[in-house]
Chains A and B, each alone.
Chain A
């Protein structure tokens, strides 16, 4: 079985490397074919669970590339499916680099999901971070470059935390396998690994990168980004930290935090980014609860979330694609111009808001039920409150401010607005259909869950009545409160303030006190250092001239003087005398030679 193992990530990586060689009219088929082949490979793996692709590395380490079990199967399935939808959505993009970055990004995500040890996990983790940064940088809008740098720096920081964590764990236990960690016996490395994984799941206080980066990515890049990073992180948390109580608290904080900021937001994709923070909060809380039902709920919600959030990002992307505007204050009243986009956005909105027969209804409620069943009543009620907020924001505020209400578009924007190209429609239709399928045909999702033996029946009359009350009365409240949630030309300060202004603080420090110190030091050097140096130099110059040179020159002068005197004595110009001295000298030399 191991011999027939082809890692799905490899298909995407090789597919990406070959893409520049493929020319039209084959290119579009190739673009659809590669993720389709990856999906088929994932299906094949799902039929052959077990551990594949085990490689001995440098003698000591065993690298596991293909751990296929119940938990990795469902995540692998939805990631590969989303890769197809995302690529179809971006089919019109001519720039090959964008497709290459996206495929490398998905390959990273699939690699993490099937990895069985921390070394392989880390390799693919970093591929994800690096490749996705380019999805931001390819956007030529103002601010995208800086947002990409912030994204890369934050993820590098998270990667370093993870690296530190698993290296310390290896030192302490000699084990690199990526398995459930022990809650009773937590070490420093446990928290480091958790923090590294939580950064990618955007758990506060490590969350600010998400709305910042996703709102600045390319239209198609954001569709990929909204699906992979956070949900891969949820998978890793479920793998290693199921049942850690702290995640319940953080998950609930995250869910509330996200929805509060989404209610204040003016940028469409930033609002959706905050919505991701909020929805991933449910999943993190589910991982923290850790019961079979809660883990099932986490996986189901991640599955549903990738589809409806992808759909919402696609609809938002369609609006940005045609109008070039991304703020509520520049949009409004567009339903006449973009009716099908409205339709798909509403499908995404009611799926996230847990309407019966749509995906959120059968997934989100599982986590809420799990919290009530574990007697975490506060958690259950708070998550329900967030659910109300979600409908208020994504189901009502979002479509209302874009498509209805006051028309705040400029004439140019309104004239440009139109439904997007056919491929975007196709991708949105596929995602919308899957949202409906997940919500209406339960076995499609429920048979894939890690604990299929745990029964859950969302279509009981009590759950229906609860949901209908929530939906109807949220809609009623919106009618009265909608003006308080209107479009305002503002941004909301968040924890990224610290590193955005922190960086500026360092710049200020460099430009002011450090620069002053440097100038003062230069001045002190000129006044004190340079003067004393000159005095010392002058002294040594004098000493050299009169001291050292005096001695050397003195001996030279005395030698010269002596030579002169000898010459005067010996060479008086009389040939006989000179011959006499010369012969005597030669004789003395000869005698000395003979005698000695």
Chain B
């Protein structure tokens, strides 16, 4: 059942992507228009529309870049490093 569902979705990858994008957009509009920001922790969250979306994208880029840099700086090494 699970396999069939995944195959079904894979065959319609473009539709899935489009639906995902639409859902994200609707959600974003809802957060900007419909959500009461009185419970926000900081000023930025209350006044920047889609603050957490921006924060997330920046975080991902920062994390991935940092990890790539760290890995290339010698932290990531060959698997038999300790076996000599």
Q: Is the CB of B64 within 8 A of A380?
A: no
Instruction: Please encode chain B, from 19 to 45, with 1 for each CB lying within 8 Å of some chain A CB and 0 for all others.
Output: 010011001101100111111111001
Q: Which DSSP category, helix, strand, loop or mixed, fits chain B's interface?
A: helix
| Chain A CB within 8 A of B14 CB | no
Please indicate the chain A residues that have their CB under 8 angstroms from the CB of B34 in the complex.
461
- By the criterion CB–CB under 8 Å, are B2 and A343 in contact? yes
A-B contact pairs, 18 of them (CB 8 A): A260-B66, A335-B2, A342-B2, A372-B41, A388-B63, A461-B36, A462-B40, A466-B45, A470-B52, A472-B23, A474-B56, A477-B60, A484-B64, A490-B79, A491-B77, A492-B75, A492-B76, A492-B77
- Nearest-neighbor residue (CB-CB) of B68 within chain A: A484
Complex interface: chain A residues within 8 A of B67 (CB) = 260, 263-264, 485
Q: Inside 8 A of B28's CB, which chain A residues have their CB?
A: 469, 472
In the bound complex, residues from chain B placing their C-beta under 8 Å from that of A373 are 41
Q: B51 → chain A, closest Cβ, in Å?
A: 8
Interface residue from A340, A466, A490 paired with B2 (Cβ < 8 Å) = A340
Closest to B66 in A: A260
Q: Which residues of B contact A (CB under 8 A)?
A: 1-3, 6, 20, 23-24, 27-28, 30-31, 34-42, 45, 50, 52-53, 55-57, 59-64, 66-68, 70-71, 74-79, 81-82
For the complex formed, measure the closest distance between the CB of B19 and the CB atoms of chain A, giving whole angstroms: 12
CB <8 Å contact, A469 and B27:
yes
CB neighbours (8 Å) of A392 from chain B are 60, 63-64
Set of chain A residues within 8 Å of B79, measured between Cβ atoms: 266, 489-491
A-side interface size class: 35 or more
A463-B39, A465-B30, A470-B52 known; A263-B81 Cβ under 8 A: no
CB nearest neighbor in A for B34: A461
- Residues 456-474 of A, flagged 1 when their CB comes within 8 A of B and 0 if not, give 0000111101101110111
Chain A 484-506 interface residues, beta-carbon cutoff 8 Å to B:
484-485, 488-493, 500-501
- Docked Cα-Cα span, A478 to B56, in Å, equals 11
CB distance from B12 to the nearest CB of A (A): 16
- Report chain A residues within 8 Å CB of B20: 475
CB distance from A215 to the nearest CB of B (A): 13
Known: A260-B63, A263-B64. A469 touches B42 (CB 8 A): no
Q: Does A481 have its Cβ within 8 Å of any Cβ on chain B?
A: yes
Of the candidates B36, B53, B68, B77, the one whose C-beta lies within 8 Å of that of A469 is B53
Q: For window 325-370 of chain A, which residues contact chain B by CB distance below 8 Å? A: 335-336, 339-340, 342-343, 369
Q: How far is A372 from B39 in the complex, measured between Cα atoms in Å?
A: 11
Contacts of B6 in A (CB 8 A): 335, 339
Interface presence of A583 (CB below 8 A): no
Contact of B71 among A264, A339, A468, A476 (CB under 8 A): A264
The answer, yes or no, to whether A384 is at the interface (CB within 8 Å) is: yes
The answer to whether A472 touches B76, judged by C-beta atoms less than 8 angstroms apart, is no
Cα(A373)–Cα(B24), bound, Å: 29
Q: Which residues of A contact B82 (CB under 8 A)?
A: 491, 500-501
In whole angstroms, how far apart are the Cα atoms of A461 and B77 in the complex? 45
Q: Write the nearest CB–CB distance from A566 to chain B, whole angstroms.
A: 88
Residues of B within 8 A of A380 (CB): 41
- The verdict on A339 contacting B3 (CB below 8 Å), with A377-B42, A461-B36 known, is yes
Q: Is A389 an interface residue, CB under 8 A from the partner?
A: yes
Write the A372-399 contact mask toward B (1 if CB under 8 angstroms, else 0).
1100010011001100110010000000
**How far is it, in angstroms, between the C-alpha of A489 and the C-alpha of B79 when the chains are bound?**
7
Q: Which 4 residue pairs are nearest across A and B when measured between Cβ atoms?
A: A477-B60, A372-B41, A339-B2, A473-B56
Contacts of A418 in B (CB 8 A): none
A481 touches B60 (CB 8 A): yes
Known contacts: A263-B64, A264-B70, A372-B42. The answer to whether A472 contacts B24 by CB under 8 A is: yes
Select B75's contact among A264, A369, A478, beta carbons within 8 Å: A264
- Looking at the complex, which one of B41, B50, B60 makes contact with A474 (CB distance below 8 Å)? B60
CB <8 Å contact, B52 and A466: yes
Q: Are A462 and B36 touching (Cβ within 8 A)?
A: yes
Bound-state CA distance A469–B78 (Å) is 38
Residues 191-229 of chain A, each 1 if its beta carbon lies under 8 Å from chain B, else 0: 000000000000000000000000000000000000000
Given contacts A461-B34, A473-B24, 12 further A-B contacts (CB under 8 A): A335-B2, A377-B41, A380-B41, A462-B36, A462-B37, A469-B56, A473-B53, A476-B24, A477-B56, A484-B68, A490-B79, A492-B71
Q: Are A384 and B55 in contact, CB atoms less than 8 angstroms apart?
A: yes
Is A277 interfacial (CB 8 A cutoff)?
Answer: no
**Complex Cα gap A476–B27 (Å):** 14
What's the minimum C-beta distance from A264 to chain B, rounded to whole angstroms? 5
Among residues of B, the one whose C-beta sits closest to the C-beta of A476 is B24
Shortest CB distance A257–B (Å): 11
Chain A CB count within 10 A is highest, among B6, B74, B82, for B82
| A369 neighbours in B (Cβ, 8 Å) | 41
Whether A470 touches B31, Cβ cut-off 8 Å, given contacts A264-B67, A342-B2, A490-B79, is no
Known: A468-B31, A469-B31. A385 touches B36 (CB 8 A): no
Contact with B along A224-260 (1 / 0, CB 8 A): 0000000000000000000000000000000000011
- Residues on B with C-beta less than 8 A from A339 are 1-3, 6
Bound: A15/B77 CA distance, A: 45
| A388:B27 contact, CB within 8 angstroms | no
Q: How far is the CA of A384 from the CA of B59 in the complex (A)?
A: 9
Give A310 to B35 CA distance when docked, in angstroms. 35
